[in-house]
Amino acid sequence: MSGVWVFNNGVIRLVENPNQSGGATNQTHGRRNVLVYLPTGEVVTSYSSLEQILRSLGWERYFNGDSDLIQYHKRSSIDLISLPRDFSKFNSVYMYDIVIKNPNSFHVRDFN
């Protein structure tokens, strides 16, 4: 599934982008996005590297029985990060969720 999220009259919806192939799901308007860990400049390329970073920031795995998701929570907050189990489905929506919950640690950038 690819497309653009559009906010209109208080409603958010996904508008499919027919110009994109179904291959790379972390693309928006033909550009590929990457999640960057700011303290080291490391581009997150796998869930194992992301999990190491999240653990160092106080996030813990949350096991709720949903086999389609990998989830993390912080004991000090009500935040929950939910990610698709398949890293190939890790797209900018999930990246921005991580950025919002860790604003000084991560950034989403276009990858050329």
Residue 4 CB partners (closer than 8 Å, separation 6+): 14, 15, 17, 28, 29
Number of H helices, E strands in the chain: 2, 9
pTM score: 0.71
**In percent, how much of the chain has pLDDT > 90?**
58
Q: What does the pLDDT look like over 38-90, one tens digit per residue? A: 999 999 999 999 999 999 999 999 887 678 899 999 998 899 999 999 999 99
What is the structure's pLDDT at 106?
Answer: 96
Q: What does the pLDDT look like over 14-40, one tens digit per residue? A: 766 544 444 444 554 556 899 999 999
| Strand spans (E) along the chain | 3-8, 11-16, 27-28, 31-37, 42-43, 59-62, 69-74, 80-84, 106-111
> Cα(33)–Cα(97) distance, rounded to whole angstroms?
14
Residue 39 token pair: 């303290």
